[in-house]
Amino acid sequence: MNDTGAVLATERLSVRYGSRVALLDVSLRVPPGSVFVLLGRNGAGKSSLVRCALGRQRPDSGRAFLFGADAWRTRAKAMARVGVVPEEPDAPPDMTARELASFCRGLYATWDDAGVAARLRRFDIPDDVPFGRLSKGQKGAVMLALCLAPRPELLVLDDPTLGLDAVARRALYDELIGDLADRGTTVFLTTHDLDGVERLATHVAILKDARLVLYEEMEAMKARFRRIRCARPAPGDRAAWTPFVTVAERSREWGLEAVVSNFEEGAFAAFVAQAGLRDVEVGTLSLEEVFVSLAGEGGGVS
């Protein structure tokens, strides 16, 4: 069944390489105008999902959709509306950024020459140096400038800040913010820079061991995850967090610490009174802290 309400979507997507399962029954939807962040440790299946979503790889089962149509069958048509910055930027090594822009200009009816030049200046990229002599971060910046030039409806970024220094990372995120504000471009990205992307993301999904363990709007995720700390209960006091879905729990010298994924203030206040907990502290979690709790060793909702 076509997913006509999403820019990009997967439906029970599974990918295997021999006996190894890379993705298992992964279903998600990327709404128009969203900044959708896909997270996972190395080997979790992110790259396989991106390849299937772009029609570059046929899944073993399930389907991927671009603009409501099967990505594998309609890739040639759909990709005219998509800009892609791969994890390993690739272009003819002897061509300069200026020559690459000149070559790409003839392929698109909506090419923005001034935008390319302005982005190269903001990223401090020389337009007369061969692509092969640029650093990895500079190559990624060139690819981003070229991908944004035809004003794509969907921008797919595979770990775009890899190899960038702090200044270049900030420039990239500022560029995305500006582009989103100007045109409402939908962005789908994978990244290890969780701190940098948190201020941009509207939706987040986390893969662990080929499965989707979290998929929701960013604000909803922040509202329901909490870190709870308390003094060690006296003998006979109830210590388990039974009313809550516990993502992680640790015993500390000073007491107990838990991360829960279904926090609600009224229910928690009643639980504290019933369990006799003392010196209770409740704190919010950053995106990175939620990711570590879910995707780290032993993490996952139980």
Q: Quick check: 177 pLDDT over 80?
A: no
Query: Using one digit for the tens of pLDDT, what is the confidence trace for 85-107?
Result: 888 888 999 999 999 999 999 88
State how far the Cα of 197 lies from the Cα of 160, in Å rounded to an integer: 11
State how far the Cα of 247 lies from the Cα of 227, in Å rounded to an integer: 10
CATH of domain 8-218: 3.40.50.300
The answer to which of 14-18, 203-207, 233-237, 247-251 has the lowest mean pLDDT is: 233-237
Q: pLDDT at position 292, please?
A: 92
Model confidence at 234, in pLDDT bands (50, 70, 90)?
low
Angle at 60 between CA 54 and CA 65, to 5 degrees: 30
Q: Where are the domains of the chain?
A: 8-218, 226-283
Between 52 and 279, where is the model more confident?
52
DSSP result, 205-218: EEEETTEEEEEEEH
Residue 226 near residue 282, CB atoms below 8 Å: yes
Q: What is the mean pLDDT of residues 137-141?
A: 86
Q: What is the pTM of this model?
A: 0.87
DSSP result, 118-151: HHHHHTT--TTSBGGGS-HHHHHHHHHHHHHTT-
Model confidence at 223, in pLDDT bands (50, 70, 90)?
very high
What is the number of alpha carbons within 13 Å of residue 60 lying toward its C-beta?
A: 14
Q: pLDDT at position 199, please?
A: 86
Model confidence at 1, in pLDDT bands (50, 70, 90)?
very low
